[in-house]
Protein backbone atom coordinates (compact mmCIF):
# COMPACT_ATOMS: atom_id res chain seq x y z
CA UNK A 1 0.00 0.00 0.00
CA UNK A 2 1.23 3.50 -0.83
CA UNK A 3 2.49 5.58 2.06
CA UNK A 4 0.41 8.73 1.43
CA UNK A 5 0.18 11.38 4.18
CA UNK A 6 -2.94 10.89 6.29
CA UNK A 7 -4.18 14.47 5.78
CA UNK A 8 -3.23 14.75 2.12
CA UNK A 9 -5.71 16.78 0.06
CA UNK A 10 -5.59 18.12 -3.50
CA UNK A 11 -4.78 21.83 -3.56
CA UNK A 12 -8.19 22.63 -5.06
CA UNK A 13 -10.22 20.65 -2.54
CA UNK A 14 -13.14 22.62 -1.05
CA UNK A 15 -13.98 22.57 2.64
CA UNK A 16 -16.80 20.09 2.14
CA UNK A 17 -14.98 17.34 0.19
CA UNK A 18 -17.20 14.36 -0.77
CA UNK A 19 -16.62 10.88 0.58
CA UNK A 20 -14.79 9.71 -2.55
CA UNK A 21 -11.66 11.89 -2.58
CA UNK A 22 -8.78 11.72 -5.02
CA UNK A 23 -6.59 10.26 -2.29
CA UNK A 24 -9.08 7.46 -1.63
CA UNK A 25 -9.30 6.67 -5.34
CA UNK A 26 -5.53 6.34 -5.54
CA UNK A 27 -5.24 4.27 -2.38
CA UNK A 28 -8.08 1.93 -3.29
CA UNK A 29 -6.63 1.34 -6.71
CA UNK A 30 -3.11 0.86 -5.34
CA UNK A 31 -4.36 -1.85 -2.97
CA UNK A 32 -5.40 -3.95 -5.98
CA UNK A 33 -1.96 -3.62 -7.60
CA UNK A 34 0.84 -6.11 -6.89
CA UNK A 35 3.63 -3.53 -7.00
CA UNK A 36 3.94 0.27 -7.30
CA UNK A 37 6.21 -0.33 -10.27
CA UNK A 38 3.29 -1.84 -12.23
CA UNK A 39 0.90 1.06 -11.61
CA UNK A 40 -1.09 2.32 -14.61
CA UNK A 41 -0.80 6.09 -14.15
CA UNK A 42 -3.12 6.77 -17.11
CA UNK A 43 -5.88 4.89 -15.33
CA UNK A 44 -5.23 6.85 -12.12
CA UNK A 45 -5.34 10.13 -14.05
CA UNK A 46 -8.69 9.20 -15.62
CA UNK A 47 -10.14 8.27 -12.22
CA UNK A 48 -8.87 11.49 -10.67
CA UNK A 49 -10.40 13.53 -13.51
CA UNK A 50 -13.74 11.80 -12.98
CA UNK A 51 -13.57 12.64 -9.28
CA UNK A 52 -12.71 16.26 -10.12
CA UNK A 53 -15.74 16.48 -12.40
CA UNK A 54 -18.10 15.18 -9.71
CA UNK A 55 -16.81 17.69 -7.18
CA UNK A 56 -16.82 20.66 -9.56
CA UNK A 57 -20.34 19.86 -10.77
CA UNK A 58 -21.58 19.62 -7.18
CA UNK A 59 -20.06 23.01 -6.36
CA UNK A 60 -21.59 24.49 -9.49
CA UNK A 61 -25.02 23.21 -8.46
CA UNK A 62 -24.53 24.67 -5.00
CA UNK A 63 -23.82 28.11 -6.50
CA UNK A 64 -26.75 27.84 -8.92
CA UNK A 65 -29.07 26.95 -6.04
CA UNK A 66 -28.33 30.36 -4.52
CA UNK A 67 -29.10 32.31 -7.71
CA UNK A 68 -28.89 32.10 -11.50
CA UNK A 69 -25.44 32.61 -13.04
CA UNK A 70 -24.10 33.19 -16.50
CA UNK A 71 -21.59 30.63 -17.73
CA UNK A 72 -18.80 33.21 -17.44
CA UNK A 73 -19.73 34.09 -13.85
CA UNK A 74 -19.91 30.45 -12.77
CA UNK A 75 -16.63 29.61 -14.50
CA UNK A 76 -14.85 32.52 -12.80
CA UNK A 77 -16.14 31.51 -9.37
CA UNK A 78 -15.10 27.88 -9.79
CA UNK A 79 -11.65 28.79 -11.13
CA UNK A 80 -11.16 31.23 -8.23
CA UNK A 81 -11.84 28.36 -5.85
CA UNK A 82 -8.91 26.48 -7.36
CA UNK A 83 -10.70 23.84 -9.43
CA UNK A 84 -8.86 22.69 -12.58
CA UNK A 85 -9.96 24.50 -15.75
CA UNK A 86 -10.61 21.28 -17.71
CA UNK A 87 -12.89 19.91 -15.00
CA UNK A 88 -14.69 23.25 -14.78
CA UNK A 89 -15.31 23.33 -18.54
CA UNK A 90 -16.62 19.76 -18.55
CA UNK A 91 -18.88 20.40 -15.55
CA UNK A 92 -20.31 23.54 -17.15
CA UNK A 93 -21.02 21.62 -20.36
CA UNK A 94 -22.97 19.07 -18.31
CA UNK A 95 -24.95 21.75 -16.49
CA UNK A 96 -25.81 23.47 -19.78
CA UNK A 97 -26.90 20.16 -21.36
CA UNK A 98 -29.18 19.54 -18.38
CA UNK A 99 -30.49 23.13 -18.59
CA UNK A 100 -29.47 23.73 -15.00
CA UNK A 101 -27.24 26.49 -16.36
CA UNK A 102 -29.37 28.51 -18.80
CA UNK A 103 -28.11 31.87 -20.04
CA UNK A 104 -31.45 32.85 -21.61
CA UNK A 105 -33.19 32.34 -18.27
CA UNK A 106 -30.38 34.15 -16.48
CA UNK A 107 -30.58 37.14 -18.84
CA UNK A 108 -34.35 37.52 -18.41
CA UNK A 109 -34.20 37.26 -14.61
CA UNK A 110 -31.22 39.61 -14.36
CA UNK A 111 -32.79 42.20 -16.67
CA UNK A 112 -36.10 42.15 -14.79
CA UNK A 113 -34.35 42.49 -11.43
CA UNK A 114 -32.22 45.43 -12.55
CA UNK A 115 -35.20 47.15 -14.18
CA UNK A 116 -37.09 46.89 -10.89
CA UNK A 117 -34.19 48.74 -9.25
CA UNK A 118 -34.56 51.67 -11.65
CA UNK A 119 -32.02 50.86 -14.34
CA UNK A 120 -32.69 51.33 -18.04
CA UNK A 121 -32.06 49.17 -21.11
CA UNK A 122 -28.66 50.60 -22.06
CA UNK A 123 -27.07 49.93 -18.69
CA UNK A 124 -28.67 46.51 -18.26
CA UNK A 125 -27.59 45.43 -21.74
CA UNK A 126 -24.01 46.53 -21.02
CA UNK A 127 -23.99 44.62 -17.72
CA UNK A 128 -25.28 41.45 -19.39
CA UNK A 129 -22.56 41.63 -22.04
CA UNK A 130 -19.95 42.13 -19.31
CA UNK A 131 -21.23 38.89 -17.79
CA UNK A 132 -20.66 37.02 -21.02
CA UNK A 133 -24.24 36.93 -22.31
CA UNK A 134 -24.34 36.81 -26.15
CA UNK A 135 -25.89 39.76 -27.99
CA UNK A 136 -28.90 37.76 -29.22
CA UNK A 137 -29.86 36.71 -25.67
CA UNK A 138 -29.25 40.23 -24.37
CA UNK A 139 -31.46 41.73 -27.07
CA UNK A 140 -34.18 39.16 -26.38
CA UNK A 141 -34.16 39.98 -22.67
CA UNK A 142 -34.45 43.69 -23.46
CA UNK A 143 -37.35 43.07 -25.85
CA UNK A 144 -39.33 41.32 -23.12
CA UNK A 145 -39.20 44.55 -21.11
CA UNK A 146 -39.88 46.97 -24.00
CA UNK A 147 -43.30 47.99 -22.74
CA UNK A 148 -42.20 48.77 -19.19
CA UNK A 149 -39.24 51.13 -19.72
CA UNK A 150 -41.30 54.32 -19.57
CA UNK A 151 -43.02 53.24 -16.37
CA UNK A 152 -39.59 52.44 -14.86
CA UNK A 153 -38.32 55.86 -15.91
CA UNK A 154 -41.34 57.63 -14.40
CA UNK A 155 -40.83 55.70 -11.16
CA UNK A 156 -37.17 56.75 -11.04
CA UNK A 157 -38.22 60.34 -11.77
CA UNK A 158 -40.69 60.23 -8.89
CA UNK A 159 -38.12 58.86 -6.43
CA UNK A 160 -35.27 61.19 -7.42
CA UNK A 161 -37.10 64.38 -8.35
CA UNK A 162 -40.64 63.95 -6.95
CA UNK A 163 -41.94 63.90 -10.54
CA UNK A 164 -41.03 67.56 -11.04
CA UNK A 165 -39.87 68.68 -14.50
CA UNK A 166 -37.65 71.80 -14.41
CA UNK A 167 -38.68 74.68 -16.64
CA UNK A 168 -35.09 75.73 -17.30
CA UNK A 169 -32.58 73.97 -19.54
CA UNK A 170 -29.99 73.56 -16.78
CA UNK A 171 -32.43 71.65 -14.60
CA UNK A 172 -33.44 69.37 -17.44
CA UNK A 173 -29.81 68.70 -18.30
CA UNK A 174 -29.19 67.68 -14.69
CA UNK A 175 -32.12 65.27 -14.73
CA UNK A 176 -31.09 63.93 -18.12
CA UNK A 177 -27.62 63.18 -16.77
CA UNK A 178 -29.11 61.14 -13.90
CA UNK A 179 -31.42 59.22 -16.24
CA UNK A 180 -28.56 58.51 -18.63
CA UNK A 181 -26.40 57.22 -15.79
CA UNK A 182 -29.19 54.77 -15.02
CA UNK A 183 -29.16 53.58 -18.63
CA UNK A 184 -32.25 55.16 -20.18
CA UNK A 185 -32.17 56.32 -23.79
CA UNK A 186 -32.43 59.92 -24.95
CA UNK A 187 -35.70 59.09 -26.71
CA UNK A 188 -37.20 57.78 -23.48
CA UNK A 189 -36.07 60.87 -21.56
CA UNK A 190 -37.44 63.12 -24.30
CA UNK A 191 -40.82 61.37 -24.07
CA UNK A 192 -40.88 61.96 -20.31
CA UNK A 193 -40.26 65.69 -20.71
CA UNK A 194 -42.70 66.04 -23.61
CA UNK A 195 -45.47 64.34 -21.63
CA UNK A 196 -44.96 66.85 -18.82
CA UNK A 197 -45.04 69.77 -21.25
CA UNK A 198 -48.23 68.63 -22.98
pLDDT band at 40 (very low <50, low <70, confident <90, very high): very low
pLDDT band at 41 (very low <50, low <70, confident <90, very high): very low
Residues 86-117: tens digit of each pLDDT: 999 999 999 999 999 999 999 999 999 999 99
**Does residue 21 have a pLDDT over 50?**
no
Residues 122-132: tens digit of each pLDDT: 999 999 999 99
Q: Write down the architecture of domain 22-101 according to CATH.
A: Orthogonal Bundle (1.10)
d(CA 177, CA 184): 10
Extents of the domains making up the chain: 22-101, 104-197
Amino acid sequence: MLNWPVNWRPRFAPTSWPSLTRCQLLLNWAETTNSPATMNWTRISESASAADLVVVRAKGLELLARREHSRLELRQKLIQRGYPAEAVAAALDQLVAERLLDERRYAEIYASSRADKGYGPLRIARELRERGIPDELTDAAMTVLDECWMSKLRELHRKRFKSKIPADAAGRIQQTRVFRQHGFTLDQIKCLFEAADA
